[in-house]
Amino acid sequence: MSESTIATRLEGVRRTVPAGVTLVAVSKSHPAEAIREAHAAGQRDFGENYVQEWRDKAEGLADLPGIVWHFIGSLQTNKVKYLAGKVALVHTVDREELGREIAKRWEKAGARARVLVEVNLGGEASKGGCRPGDVPALVDRLRALPALDVAGLTCIPPPEDDPRPHFRALRALRDSLGLVDLSMGMSGDYPVAIEEGSTLVRVGTAIFGERVRRE
């Protein structure tokens, strides 16, 4: 994909994202050069799903000024150590064990972690995420951990559903807990997510095109 295509697509997305909403360019499965092209066009926040892929890219792109990494994939506790102090926001905390490991590793790195609690609003067995009814207790336990700030909530609605009711439910849950951020909305539904109060949208295909499948 050429630089002009990425720059053009990025600009098209930016025009639809209002001030106060962070656009996270989802670069998973795209080459480092695509990130360089988006960065050259002014993008700074990038989302990755796989720890090893992120590590390889972060090392190869260490010369890029102001790049901000978001980890948006399922995270195993034994891989948290690689992210500590290097990722600005972990979007997918769904259990206390993971939160404790993040707090421990970030504290060891002399930093504070910012995390979002992932909520499985659709009750899908194939997806991670905390059940909605369990979220308040989990947030309370995470808030008690050192070196960890619970910034908000995230969700991915079931693909066959109208996303709006799910986004509204997540916003109501966020408000009831006194949190700030909502990470919801992807290439196909981020305008609706913004209408429903999203503060971070995760957009990949609309910027980079179809991603390369992992073997």
Give, in order, the Cα–Cα distances in Å from 48 to each of 30, 55, 125, 130, 202: 10, 10, 23, 21, 10
CATH 3.20.20.10 correct for 3-208: yes
Q: What is the pLDDT of residue 4?
A: 54
Please state the pTM of the whole predicted model: 0.94
Q: If pLDDT is split at 50, 70 and 90, which confidence band does 215 have?
A: very low
Q: Where are the domains of the chain?
A: 3-208
User: Residue 13: what residue type?
Assistant: V
Q: What is the pLDDT of residue 1?
A: 42
> Per-residue pLDDT tens for 71-127?
999 999 999 999 999 999 999 999 999 999 999 999 999 999 999 999 999 888 888
> Per-residue pLDDT tens for 152-202?
999 999 999 999 999 999 999 999 999 999 999 999 999 999 999 999 999
Q: What is the pLDDT of residue 213?
A: 54
How far apart (Å, rounded) are the C-alpha atoms in residues 127 and 144?
26
